[in-house]
Structure formats: structure tokens, C-alpha cells
Structure 1
Amino acid sequence: MNAPFKIDTPTTTPAPATLVQRALGGHAAIGLLASALLYIIALTGSLIVIHDRWQRWEQPNIAETASLSPAAAQAAMTAVVAGEAGKPRTTHLYIRMPTPDLPRAVVTTDNGAWYVDGAGKVVGREAHAWTEFVIGLHEYLHLPATLGLIVVGAFGVMLVGLVVTGVLAHPRIFRDAFRIRTRHNTQLARADWHNRLGVWTLPFVLAVALTGAFIGLGSVGTTLLARAYTNGAVEPVYATIFGHEPKPDAARAPLPDLATAIRAQATQAPGTTPTYVIAHDPGTRGQHVQIIAEHPRRLIYGETYAFDGRGVAKGKVGLSDGPIGRQAAASAYNLHFGNFGGLAVELAYMLLGLGLCVVTATGTSLWLEKRRRRGLHSQRMAACWAVVVWGTPLALLAALWLRGAAGPDAPLVGMFWGLMAAMLVAAIAWPLWATAARLRTVAAAAVLATAAGHAALLRPEMGGPIAIDLIAAVSAGAVLWLFRGVRTVRSI
């Protein structure tokens, strides 16, 4: 008997994914993993670009001075050290010199920080706790310092990955850089804003992401280099960039001569502007002085000039004219935080940072909408994302109110994360309550109320803090106007 006739049925093999499809998949995976914390880092980073101005805004009634003379700097150090009698001896004393952004002199020790007037007299405690809270949230996510820097640095790497995969996933992204279909449905408009802002902010995002990764992961690289070349000692590795320090000698000695050191630095590098005067181990024989001075038209944060306890110059580190790697390392900080070019650059950084916030928010919103169209919509996920986008500024404001009500020692960190956790729990339990529209309205109203209440307490001559209140009020009004009529749960 002949074998039955066999018909071969062709099997369909899925076509291999294209580069665009693979990039799109990688882009979505990285974005979902990083989106919530990346949004918080971007939002707080946009705020702390003007941290000096926030410091004045938070403590508007402190006496200000345009400069601090060498004699006044010496008097300020003497007054602060005398005021800390009975406390543990400080190992480092920093004098932050007045600048146009912050025309106040601040003396910081291991035990606290104090404002001093133009004569070097202590006039009040430095207590801008909310500003420091926001800085800590951006730089460390309130984790222990080294771990926090590593985590935030890792998010910088993720952001670079998002930028690269986002560009690869949209071959026409540059050709369509100015195409926004605002008259089409909400999803198309949101996608266009996501893509267009991604293009417009691309150089900025790459700059801050790469420098953020460099700053945050620097400790990891330093540890690896130390294990490879210095038997695990990290100090020699840091010294290749920031310079070596003399050996300590704890024997008692008169306080260092800061006045002579400041005068010598002005002679050694005319045209530079001292920003920090640092006394290491003050009151000991091993004490020495460093002066960090800004160089005009340079991206470096400053050059470090070294002096002994008598104010005799011992050279400089070479951040301004040393090896190119050292200059690049000293330039990463200003490039990341926008501390160059004055107010115009700061405002540009803030706007671009807010653009990154919009890109992050719309990216996850687009993914949630795609899930909805596939029948996988989750009101709880949408509500949780609304809490991240609009609950974060609300929690930041709540921390500010707590600081105003309870003083600079209030537990701002615990309150912020506790409130965020409570809002997320509420979003899971009652998703119809935690809508983007409701949270957005509450956040904008809170900004308006805060700006109005703060401005009412200021004197007319306090132009800087009043300007911040005005900008905040206008921004909150603009948010309410732009989103007027938008009530859907899926909106950002």
C-alpha cells in the first residue's frame, strides 16, 4: 500500500524585528523603569538651577552685603569659632563670599552655618532648610550620600539610553521637528509634543545626563581606580584632580591668617573672583587655607589656590590651566547645573529642564493610552502616574509649608516621602479620586496661594524674592489656562 500523500504546510516565521522596532522596545522598557524617579530628578533639578535665589526667597530678611573685605573675613572666622566654644572643634571652616546671585556671606563649620554682615559680625543662622531639602532630593534622592550619588548617576545613564533609543525609534524625528498636530486627537498631539520637545531639548538633555552620570558615578570610578593602583586608598585618586593636602598636625595654634591669604590671591590672580575661602583644621599647626576663585569666561567652577596658616602662597591646583582631563572634570559641575552665563542661562536651563519633565510625563502617558486601546487600561496605574506628575510639586509645596510652620528643623524628608506614599495608596484605593485634572488644579492653586502669601510678607525693595513669587503665580495661571477643559483621567 502506498503511503498517503503528504502535503507540506508552510510555517510562517515571524519577521525579525527591525532596528526601529528594537529601539522602540528598548526605549519603552528603559522609560517605564526610570520614569517616576527620573521625573522627580528632572523637576527638582529645574528648581535648583536658581538655588541661590531660592535661598534668598526662603530667608528674605537677612542683612545683605555686596562684598566681604579680607579683614571682615578674618573677623567672621574669629567670631564664629568663638561662638562655638564648648562644641566639638571643627575640621573645616568655609566662608562663602557674597555674589550677585546671593549677596550674603555665610560661614559654615562642622557644627552649623551662619550669615555675617559686611563687617564680619554674625547676624543670623543659615536656615534655608527647604532649599537644601530640594537639592538633596535632586542629588541623592535623600539616600545616604554615596549611594544616592550612584543611584542618581545611574539614572543619568538611563537618560542617555532614552535619548539614543528615542532618536533611533523615530527616523523622521528631526525632519518633523516643528510638526505639531494640535488639531487632531489628544493622543496625536501628546505624541507630537513628546517627540518635538525631545528634539528641542536633545543637546541640553545629553549634556546634563552625561555630566550627571559623571558626577554621580565618579565615586564608583574612583573606587575602582584606587583598588587597581593605590591599594584601595581613594585620596590619591582624588588628589590627581583636586590636589594634595598637607599632613595634619593637631597641636594647638592661632587661627589662620585669612586676610593675608585673600590679599595674596588677589595679587596672584587679578581679575578672578573668590567664591569660597576654606580653612582646613583651623586652630592647629597643620592648618592651611584654600581659596576657590572663579575665572571669567571659563566653564570651570573655579581655580583652587593654596596657602599655609600664615597666608603664604603654596601654588594652585591647576583646574584652570592643568591637564585637559582636570579642566574637563572641573567643568562638569557648571555644565550640569547651569552655573555660568548669569540669569539668562539659568532661565534657559529651567525651561529646558521643564521641557524634560513634559517629555517624561507624556512618554508614560502615551504608553498608558496604548494599553487602554489594547483593552488593558488600568485606572489605578493612570491614577498613580497622575500622582507622580502632579502630586510631586504638591508634596514639595507641602514641605515648604511645613518648614514655614515648624521652622528649619522640621522633618521635611519624612513628610515628603510619607505624603507621596499616602497619595499613591489613595490612588490605588480610590483611582477615580486621583485624577490628573483634580491634582493639577490643586497643585496650581497651592502655588498661587503660596506665591501670594509669601509676597504679602515682603518689603517693596525685595525685588528678587518678589520676582520669584510673580513668576510662580504666572506659571500656575498658565497651567490652569493651558489645561482648561481637559478632564480625562488619561491626561497628564
Structure 2
Amino acid sequence: MKQHTHKRLYDTHSWVGIISGILLFIVTFSGIPALFEHELGYWQYPAFGEIAEERSFDLERTIATANDIGFQYDKLTIQLPDEINNHIMLSHFSDESEFYTLYLKTGSYEEVESSPSALGQILTHLHTDLYLPRPFGRYLVGLAGMAMLLAIIAGIFIHVKWRKEFVMLRPKRSWRLLLTDQHKLLGLWSLPFTLILAFTGTILGLLGIISPILALAAFDGDVQKATDTILGPRAEITGEPAPIYSLNELWIKARSDLADKEIKLIEIEGAGDKGGLIKFSAHHQKHLSNIETVTYSTATGETIHEGSFIGKGPFHRIFAAVTPLHYVLFGSVWLKICYALAALGACGLIVTGNMLWLERRGHGMEHLLSKLTLGICGGLVVATCALFPVSQLLYVFKLGEEHHHFEEWILWSTWGITLFTPFLWKNGFQLSHWMLRISAALLLSTLVVDGLVNGRWLWLTSGWNFYIQAGIIFFALLLVYLDIKMPDEKKEKVTNRKTATQATHI
């Protein structure tokens, strides 16, 4: 590679990382709990962990029970029980972006009180929209993903000695060499997953912009036609009443039409209207582009649309694979863990990249970028770790709907305090150590609070409860390890110290 080309790629990699680094850290770090949003929800709330002896599903009884309770909407979604969710979950999204849910016990169809916590949703909202109004927050996340993708591609080309750098770590040399080696190691080891996350995150974030372009190319600019072709048609409410076809018969028919696949979701819109539809969505575990759907008329029971991405062209397969790839909706729990570890590596990659950029330009901890990196990135870690034990403790006070408001207040107030701390605390290395120690202590306190409040100690848990608690312990120990290994001050080069000693003797 020519020298000027290498320099341009290096500058691109460096400046793209610096400009978008802090934003990327927020998106990436909040994406780790977003990966486990459902698992966290069912770990947090013990009532969701109760497993019914009978797991059979009656669609008509589900709708009738919901109506008796007062959960009556023209459009609703039913999520069936799976390996994580032990209950039938009915949900409705209003035009005002409000979300209503109802949980029913599988078998008895008794109502289960919804969890007042929104820990998983809060962090997921931060990951997908940065808590900004739609679609602006999502577009910003998409642009951050694009920047990450560009930085990764440039980084691949500039690191030509990757075989050597794959295992190179010189902890006893200078601070700059330590940052350089850590940056390269984290980038190389997490590369496959970060590349996937950046690519899929870009598409998901910018889908509102990409969709019209794709529709223009394939459907003469008709976005609705493109959406209907891929996801299936939407109900056209005519206002003309019509009897509802047997929903249980449609359930049996859907299981036949989607044989060898696990039906995950049922969407009902306009039941009782001549134009009403019901759509069943299933996952095919042997395919990445695994979403298959079948849509019926609720009035006549006839098949309206069948959607499958298997055997389709590359556009359809890529479109269908984006969400499963980004949120790991396929494979085992170990694949999710690999994604989470890669995301942690990407967070370290961002922080070391910022510090390396400062070091190479002779800036210290007093520089604005250093303070922002420590305050925003380190502050988010502290605030997230604080959110876990506080969220569990709030169950004791039975705050109801105020529960999630307190969770939001804890996150933003803690983050705000730690954001400004580097501007008051001059010793950045010392502050970094305290942030790591406080974060680790808060995470470990989560297990103590959970044991005292819910009686779920680590040695008494199993399944997803155990996985979540083990994950909390692992992250806490990782923070402790970083606290031990991180120096208390910059290390000068060994050669410089030797030279200085020799000069003194002369």
C-alpha cells in the first residue's frame, strides 16, 4: 500500500473515531442490556418466572379473557410463551406511541400483574433512539453506525501486521504503547461481531431513509407496496361489520401452513370488520432469514398473504437477516454472550482510541476530550450499574407506575453528576479507579438486594435467572480487574528512564 494512501486511511480511521467515538460508546454500551431486554425483564420480576404446568394455547379464550378484563383494542399483538416468556403477552401500541400490555397465565388464563419496572426498555430506548424524538434519534444512531463501519473498514486496511498484533501486549512499557496494544487487540478480537453490529445498526437506524430508496429501485417508489410485499398487507377497515371466523381454526391452519416452524407472534387488526386481518409470524430455526408469515381474513378465513424470505433474492434475504443478526434472534445463548463480549470490546476500543489520540498529540487528562470521555462514557457505566440495584430495591416500596419514573431519574441524575465530576476532580487516573470500583460495588450489591427482596441467591437460581446473575458477577469482576491493571499515572518509556539514569551518572 502506498504511503499517502495509508496516511489517508489512518487519518480517516482516527478522525471518524474521534468525532463519533463518544456517541458510539453510548449506543454500544446501552446495546448490551438491550440484547437481553426480555431476559432482564423476566429476571427482574419473579411473577414472570412462574411456569404453568399446562402450556396449551387457546386463541379464542385468550381474546375472550382480554375482553372481559377490559383489554379491548381494534389492533393488538399476542406474543406466545417461549423459553424465556412463560406467559401470554398481549400488547397494543396507540397512535400517541403509548404501549399497553396484558399478561395472562398459560393454562389458567388468569391475569398476571405487569412489572412496574422499565429497566430493559429504558436502556433499549437509549440504544435505539438516544431518548430523542423519532425519527431523529434513530437517524443519529444510524449515522453513528455508519461512522463505526467506516472506521472499521479503514482500520482493516491500515493494520497490515495483524498476525503479530493479534497477540501483542506490552503492559510494562509506556502508557502510549499500552493504549496502542490494547486498542489493536480489542479491535482484532471483536472484529467479526463489531462489523456485523455496525452494518446492521446502520440499516436499522437509517431504515426510514433507505426504504424509499429501495422502494424507488424495486417498486417504482411505492413504499407501501414494498412494505406490503415484504411484511404483508395491513387491514383496510371498511366500517362494514362481519362475523369473526373461528380464530382457533385459523390457529390450527396457521400451524399447518407454518409446519416445522415456531409461531412467535400473532397480530390481529380490525376483527369484526369485513377488512379485518390476522397474521401469524414464525421463526425457522435453521435459517438466518428466518421470519415467515401467513395472513388470513378474519371475516372469511381465506389466505391473504404468505411471506417467506427463504429462497428469495439477496435483497429480501439481507432485509430479513438484519434484525436477527443485530439482536441475535437465532442461535443459542452462547452466541448472545459472544455478541455482548464483542460489544464490551468495542466500548474498550472506543475509549482507548480516544486516549491514544490525546496521547499522540501530547494532551493529558486536562484536555476537554479526556474529560468528556471519562464523564460521559465512565458516567454511563456508573449510572447503568446504579440502576440495577435501585430498580430491584424499588419493588419494596410498591410505587406502581411511578416505579419506572424513579428508574429514569436515577439513570439521568447519576449520569449527570458523573458527567461533570471530571471537570472538578483534577486527577483523571484516580477518578477512573473510583468509577470502576463504584460500578463493581453497585453491580455486586444488585445480587444482595435481589437475594434480600426476592430470596433469589446465586446458589438457589437456575435457568435465565442464573445466567443474568452470573453475567452481573462477570462484569463486576471485569471492572475490578481493570481497576487493578490500570496504572495510577502515565508510565514513561523504559528507554527514557535508562537514558535519564545514565545521564545522571555521567
**TM-score > 0.5 by shorter chain:** yes
After superposition, where does 1:190-209 map in structure 2 within 5 Å?
190-209=179-198
Q: Sort the Cα spacing of 1:233 and 1:414 in 2 relative to 1 into closer, same or farther, 3 A.
A: farther
- The aligned counterpart of 1:11 is none
Distance 2:88 2:193 in 1: 32
- The aligned counterpart of 1:22 is 8
Q: Sort the Cα spacing of 1:268 and 1:377 in 2 relative to 1 into closer, same or farther, 3 A.
A: closer
Q: Sort the Cα spacing of 1:172 and 1:231 in 2 relative to 1 into closer, same or farther, 3 A.
A: closer
State which of 414, 418, 425 in structure 2 corresponds to 1:423: 418
State which of 421, 442, 445 in structure 1 corresponds to 2:441: 445
Q: Sort the Cα spacing of 1:256 and 1:174 in 2 relative to 1 into closer, same or farther, 3 A.
A: farther
1:68–1:97 Cα contact (<8 Å) kept: no
Shift of 1:289: 0.6
Shift of 1:174: 3.9
State which of 49, 53, 56 in structure 2 corresponds to 1:69: 56
Q: Sort the Cα spacing of 1:411 and 1:233 in 2 relative to 1 into closer, same or farther, 3 A.
A: farther
State which of 449, 455, 458 in structure 2 corresponds to 1:458: 455
- The aligned counterpart of 2:170 is 181
- The aligned counterpart of 2:41 is 55
Code of the residue aligned with 2:449 in structure 1: it is G
Q: Sort the Cα spacing of 1:452 and 1:36 in 2 relative to 1 into closer, same or farther, 3 A.
A: same
Does 1:247 pair with 2:252?
Answer: no
Shift of 1:113: 0.7
Deviations 1:38-74 (A, max 9, x none): 1111112222222221121121222334875342x32
Deviations 1:62-117 (A, max 9, x none): 2334875342x3222222233236xxx62421111111133332111236112111
Secondary structure of the equivalent of 1:194?
helix
Distance 1:403 1:251 in 2: 48
Distance 1:162 1:196 in 2: 16
Shift of 1:255: 5.6
Code of the residue aligned with 1:31 in structure 2: it is G
2:382–2:414 Cα contact (<8 Å) kept: no
Code of the residue aligned with 1:61 in structure 2: it is A
Distance 2:88 2:468 in 1: 22
Distance 1:60 1:466 in 2: 13
Shift of 1:271: 1.1
Code of the residue aligned with 2:424 in structure 1: it is A
Moved more, 128-137 or 219-228: 219-228
Distance 1:330 1:489 in 2: 49
TM-score normalised by the chain length of structure 1: 0.86
Q: Sort the Cα spacing of 1:37 and 1:301 in 2 relative to 1 into closer, same or farther, 3 A.
A: farther
By percentage of residues, which structure has more helix?
2
The alignment of Structure 1 onto Structure 2 pairs a total of residues equal to: 470
Does 1:338 pair with 2:321?
Answer: no
Distance 2:442 2:314 in 1: 48
Unmatched 5+ stretches in structure 2: 94-98, 492-506
Q: Sort the Cα spacing of 1:333 and 1:66 in 2 relative to 1 into closer, same or farther, 3 A.
A: farther
Distance 1:54 1:137 in 2: 16
- The aligned counterpart of 2:503 is none
- The aligned counterpart of 1:157 is 146
Distance 1:133 1:31 in 2: 26
Shift of 1:343: 0.9
2:78–2:89 Cα contact (<8 Å) kept: yes
Secondary structure of the equivalent of 1:440?
helix
Distance 1:66 1:382 in 2: 55
- The aligned counterpart of 1:81 is 67
Unmatched 5+ stretches in structure 1: 1-15
Q: Sort the Cα spacing of 1:462 and 1:76 in 2 relative to 1 into closer, same or farther, 3 A.
A: farther
State which of 333, 336, 340 in structure 2 corresponds to 1:350: 340
1:391–1:423 Cα contact (<8 Å) kept: yes
State which of 90, 105, 122 in structure 2 corresponds to 1:107: 90
Moved more, 309-318 or 191-200: 309-318
2:379–2:418 Cα contact (<8 Å) kept: yes
Secondary structure of the equivalent of 1:107?
strand
Q: Sort the Cα spacing of 1:353 and 1:51 in 2 relative to 1 into closer, same or farther, 3 A.
A: same
